[in-house]
């Protein structure tokens, strides 16, 4: 049987739903806050909900920030989800937080002009691939994923943006570089289209 996926536990919630979604696509997933397990994992899911400042404090306190960077440097396939994507960039406006720096760029707070649009952006929204990636194979026009967030990723290099979504303005909904891929939406809460993405991740070799 294949090695289990490691889901990083850094006190940022939503872990069990990710684990259950992995089980639905036939993948074993282990929740762990052990840096050694993260370094030894064959592939990693880096989920999360919550605040950037407290998330980074937990990652540093438990040695998980360095373990995750090492895993990325070693070529392990990594999937960031929501907060996991946001803190994979270099800096977050949330609490003016220095983050992991896996991808150059910043995470910004929504600033909306239309009063009918609320923060956080919550609910189903269309995701539009803008360049091919193995994890986005099969996404069709009109396919929607579930979002819950007040901040959004803004990579410096637009070649890192693989899909976009509109909430008043366009923003990056999927960001990747090499063996790292992150999504602002929650695939584990996105029904069949989300499960298909997770299934593709369980078989992805980390190559674009």
Structure tokens at 6: 């490691």
Render 116-141 in DSSP notation, one character per residue: TS-SSEEEEEE-EESS--GGGTT--T
Could you count the other beta carbons within 10 Å of the beta carbon of residue 57?
16
Q: Is 186 a catalytic residue?
A: yes
Choice among 22, 24, 82, 98 that is catalytic: 82
Could you count the other beta carbons within 10 Å of the beta carbon of residue 33?
16
Between the alpha carbon of residue 151 and those of residues 26, 145, 155, 194, the distances in Å are 32, 17, 13, 21
Choice among 94, 149, 160, 186 that is catalytic: 186
Q: Is 188 a catalytic residue?
A: yes
Structure tokens at 147: 């979002």
Contact 68, 59 (CB under 8 A): yes
Contact 113, 122 (CB under 8 A): no
Q: Is 121 a catalytic residue?
A: no
Catalytic residues: 82, 186, 188
């Amino acid at each position: 049987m294949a090695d289990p996926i490691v889901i990083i536990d850094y006190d940022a919630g939503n872990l069990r739903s990710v684990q259950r979604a992995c089980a639905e696509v036939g993948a074993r997933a282990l929740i762990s806050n052990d840096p050694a397990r993260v370094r030894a994992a064959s592939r990693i899911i880096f989920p999360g909900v919550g605040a950037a400042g407290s998330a980074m404090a937990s990652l540093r306190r438990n040695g998980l920030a360095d373990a995750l960077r090492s895993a990325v440097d070693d070529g392990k396939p990594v999937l960031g989800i929501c907060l996991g994507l946001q803190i994979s960039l270099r800096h977050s406006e949330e609490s003016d937080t220095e983050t992991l720096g896996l991808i150059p760029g910043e995470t910004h707070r929504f600033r909306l002009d239309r009063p009918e649009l609320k923060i956080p952006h919550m609910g189903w929204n269309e995701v539009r691939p803008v360049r091919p990636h193995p994890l986005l194979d099969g996404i069709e026009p009109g396919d929607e994923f579930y979002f819950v967030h007040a901040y959004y990723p803004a990579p410096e290099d637009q070649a890192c943006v693989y899909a976009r979504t509109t909430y008043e303005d366009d923003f990056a909904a999927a960001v990747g570089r090499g063996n790292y891929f992150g999504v602002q939406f929650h695939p584990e809460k996105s029904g069949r289209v989300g499960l298909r993405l997770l299934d593709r991740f369980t078989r992805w070799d980390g190559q674009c």
